[in-house]
Amino acid sequence: MTPLDIGGLVIVTLLVLLALGTPVAFALGGTALIFLYFFEGPRSMGTAAETLYASLNSFELLAIPMFILMGAAVAHSRAGPDLYEALERWLYRVPGGLLVSNIGACGIFAALSGSSPATCAAIGKMGIPEMRKRGYPEGLAAGAIGAGGTLGILIPPSVTMIVYGIATETSIGRLFAAGILPGLMIVVLFCAWGIFYSHRYGQAYRLTGAGYSWRERFVILPKVLPFLAVVVGVLWTLYGGVATPSEAAGVGALFCILLVVIIYRVRNPRSLWTVLNTSMRESVMIMMILGAAGLFSFMLSSLYVTQTLAEMIVALEINRWLLLALINVFLLIAGLFLPPVAVIVMVAPTLIPIITDIGFDPIWFAVVLTLNMEVGLITPPVGLNLYVLNAIAPDVRLGTILWGSLPFALILLLGIVILCVFPGIATWLPEVLMG
């Protein structure tokens, strides 16, 4: 059999296992073991064990559970509602200000927690009922929260960026820097759509009530500014060369736990154990996927599938922008069915040689890939954020949430086009900060 024939069998086997409901880590690892055994013999099983261990034997991986712990501490406190309340008090006079407040709160909370579902749950529980009460359509209210929640995988500190950096041996600090301006760009585009929609329909979305005094605006800031200071401090230590990503993540996690204990008085051992337990379960899940993906990549390389595919694509000699468009379509389809971490560890090591061979920057491509994954979070059939929103607002139909999310999904696709035309949006800041 040719390497491409083997690659086709690998894809079919993997898809069958995933369709049967096999967890991603076991589907990747099981497929790798099956093909290594049949094509390289029983001796390959010893090599497989060493490869699996080597995939996880990295100090950089420590950043993942630390950032997850940092996010879990924030997600299990009232930081989300307080953040939403603070932005509402400052933006209530802006046309569509409540919608802008929700999107802004989602963006900041997503950066703090790094979790799209946690963001949707934390902000959506207050934001959706409030927007509906003020006259916003159900779909627009839910769609704004769902789209805002996706920002957690782009705005640093982002766990998916860490996974991409480890999978492709790319600087995590540069990846974090690359996500800042595109993340802000997407927030601005989301807010612009909200303001345009509100302005177009005028009175329906004007906020009611007497508003907030300056004292009411400032009194809530001490509860949210310390958490923002932690994120700024983590990024400063990274770009200032003070600490590695793992060290910065550890300090950030410690400070977030202390802030939750001091500001929100979360001192019950059971509550703290919930934070640790949630972090541990999510960390183990991601680590298992990373280890299995390392074994899967080793299998593809050993059977010469990756190299043959890359050589075949480069030999096609088609326009590089057409090739990039085809890659984006593939990523969009993959993101519809698989979580972002799984897609990254499965395809990034294979795609990066192709991307670099046709002259694109791997740092820039990380942002493009992430935007594709954001679209998958708010589109069916898997669309995790859609189901989270449906769970916290069960009286809003899933179809309504989907149609409300559609304009924001189109904005994310517009973001990909803008990055293709102006790649400096993603590459300028890493060059300025890190040379």
Backbone region of residue 202 per phi and psi (left: phi > 0; alpha: psi in -120 to 50; beta: other values)? left
Which of 66, 81, 76 has the alpha carbon at shortest distance from 223?
Answer: 81
Gap between the Cα atoms of 414 and 157, Å rounded: 23
Question: How buried is residue 320: exposed, middle or buried, by Cβ count under 10 Å (0-12/13-18/19+)?
Answer: middle
Q: Angle at Cα 406 formed by Cα 401 and Cα 411, nearest 5°?
A: 135
**Domain boundaries in the chain?**
3-434
Gap between the Cα atoms of 432 and 435, Å rounded: 6
Q: Hunting for tokens 């061979």 — which residue is that? A: 357
- Who contacts 270 (Cβ-Cβ below 8 Å, separation ≥6)? none
Q: Coil, helix or strand for 189?
A: helix
Q: What is the pLDDT of residue 182?
A: 94
Q: What is the pLDDT of residue 163?
A: 86
Q: Which tokens sit at 331? A: 């990523």
Dihedral angle at the C-alpha atoms of 389, 391, 395, 400, nearest 10 degrees? 40
* pLDDT, tens digit only, all 435 positions of the chain: 788 788 889 888 888 888 888 888 888 889 889 998 888 888 878 888 888 888 787 777 788 888 888 877 877 777 777 877 787 788 777 767 778 888 888 888 877 776 777 778 778 877 888 788 777 788 888 888 888 888 878 888 788 888 898 888 888 889 989 999 999 999 999 988 877 876 676 544 444 445 678 788 888 888 888 888 887 888 788 777 777 778 888 888 888 888 888 888 878 888 888 888 888 888 888 888 888 888 888 888 788 877 777 677 767 777 888 888 988 988 888 888 777 888 888 788 888 888 888 889 999 999 999 999 999 888 877 677 887 888 878 888 888 888 888 999 999 999 999 999 999 999 999 998 877
Q: At residue 106, what is the residue type? A: C
Q: At residue 97, what is the residue type? A: G
